[in-house]
Amino acid sequence: MSEPDINWDEVIEEATGILSRYLTIDTTNPPGNEEPAVRFLEEIFRKNDIDDITFYDASDEVSKGRLNMLVRLPGDGSAKPIVLLNHTDVVPVERSGWDEDPFSGLVKDGIIWGRGAVDMKGMGVIEMIAMLLIKRLGIRLKRDIVFLAVADEEAGSEYGAEFLAREHPEVLDAEYVLNEGGWGTTQVMGVDRPSFSCAVSEKGPCWLKLSTEGRPGHGSVPHGDNALDRLLRALQRIQEWDRPHTVVPELAAYFSEAHRAGYLKDEPTDASILEMAESNLLYSALTTNTISLTTVNAGVKHNVIPATAEATIDCRLLPGTDAEAFIEEVRAVIDDPQVTIERALVSNTPPSPIDTELMDVIKQVTREHVEDAAVLPSVSTGFTDSRVFRNAGVTAYGFIPVLQDLSEAVTIHGHNERISIENLRLGCQMMFEIARRIARRISS
């Protein structure tokens, strides 16, 4: 196999320019308004003679500009497509916390600043560059490579992946998906050595709303039927609920691989993993069904006993947990039939298999590009659009091929989100190689 001749300096200059401009398009969700972002990407594809583009408009009475876009590089059909998935919306910013304007697309000292630099406009550009290069080099494909830019990921995907699954299920007809969910870090398990998480599974959101009613009254005469009192008792019981910690098979596989690859000295056991989880918030979250109390609403006035009260709780369930059974447990813990439980978002998905051609390619490409780095199949605490594909039987991996230190990693959803040009280069090179190897037609 001859190696393609690519002037990477030129490619990365191009990628930097694209990402910088892309970051100036404010797609903060809510409201999202992803259409201008999608049109921006469309124009670049068309300029590069990539015209197999389909739009899926999820806009409705409530929300406009919710455009999704699918761009296809066709293969000969002898294998099913790989989807390079990315979302065009971003989470809100608190401007006062930023050192630079989050929507200026500033490039300074080798760093590209902006909300979405990694999550996930940066990844979108990395995927786009892979498409452009494959097109320019005339690489012949056995499978379609599909660039899928979706809306609304940051707010539950109702206008994005969920909409596509419901209204256009043909979009999900693929063998593989590459998406967010895992990335490279310069340090893992206390060892200063690069590793890449490749998310094969994720915890399932189980967002519940608790509400209760009581009798209104004057604050000066308590009567024992105060809705807020009742809600607080329920929340108190939830907080005191001691849930077991367990090691699911997907997490055990992560630690075994870390051991095999030499990051973890001793062979991990369930007991040793649970011990690590005691002093590590991330591992703790990965070994139990977590609950965060997130909002409480009650009352109208200082001296009025409220007649209604409600709260939202954000539960995240381990892979393999039966959400309905969990909700029944919550009900039993609250132990008050006057508190009603409503489901706001409940989803759980099967894990993707670890032994695949795509995983082999990811491992190979990682070894070749980052010295001494291994790929660890991981479980993500957050949920991503991968769930929609996994539920449709597609193998979906969370793998953003950039290598971040801790100070950069915390900027995702936080202040000062940014990506170094060096990381953009690594990402473009790795993504191109992964896409090329998994999709190219090997002529006889």
Residues that bind Zn ion (CB under 5 A): 119-120, 180
Smallest gap from Cβ 383 to Zn ion, in A, equals 10
Q: Which residues contact 263 (CB under 8 A, 6 or more apart)?
A: 188, 189, 191, 193, 195, 374, 376
311 forms beta bridges with: 210, 296
Residue with tokens 């593989």, as numbered in its chain: 176
CA distance 227 to 94: 34
Min dist CB 386 to Zn ion, Å, is 11
Q: Residue 120 or 309: which CB sits closer to Zn ion?
A: 120
Tokens of 378: 């991981």
Q: Helix (H, G, I), strand (E, B), or coil: what is residue 182? A: strand
Least Å distance, CB 155 to Zn ion, is 11
Q: What is the DSSP letter of 307?
A: S
Select 185 or 226, whichever has its Cβ closest to Zn ion.
Answer: 185
Q: Are 392 and 169 in contact (CB under 8 A)?
A: yes
Kindly state the smallest distance separating residue 157's Cβ from Zn ion, in Å: 11
Least distance to Zn ion, CB of residue 182, Å: 12
Residue whose CB is less far from Zn ion, 42 or 180: 180
Closest distance to Zn ion from the beta carbon of 236 (Å): 34
CB of 162 to Zn ion, least distance (A): 15
Report which of 426, 436, 404, 434 is spatially closest to residue 8, judged by C-alpha positions: 426
Closer to Zn ion by CB, 105 or 182: give it: 182
Q: Which is nearer to Zn ion, 327 or 345 (CB)?
A: 345
Q: Which is nearest to 128 in space by CA: 50, 29, 201? A: 50
State which residue, 226 or 384, has the beta carbon closest to Zn ion.
Answer: 384
Q: Could you tell me which residues come within 8 angstroms of residue 132 by beta carbon, excluding any fewer than 6 positions away? A: 44, 45, 48, 50
**In 3-state terms, what secondary structure has residue 374?**
strand
Nearer to Zn ion, 71 or 199 (CB): 199
- Identity of residue 285: A
Q: Under a CB-based contact definition with an 8 Å cutoff, are residues 171 and 148 in contact?
A: yes
Position closest to Zn ion via CB: 119
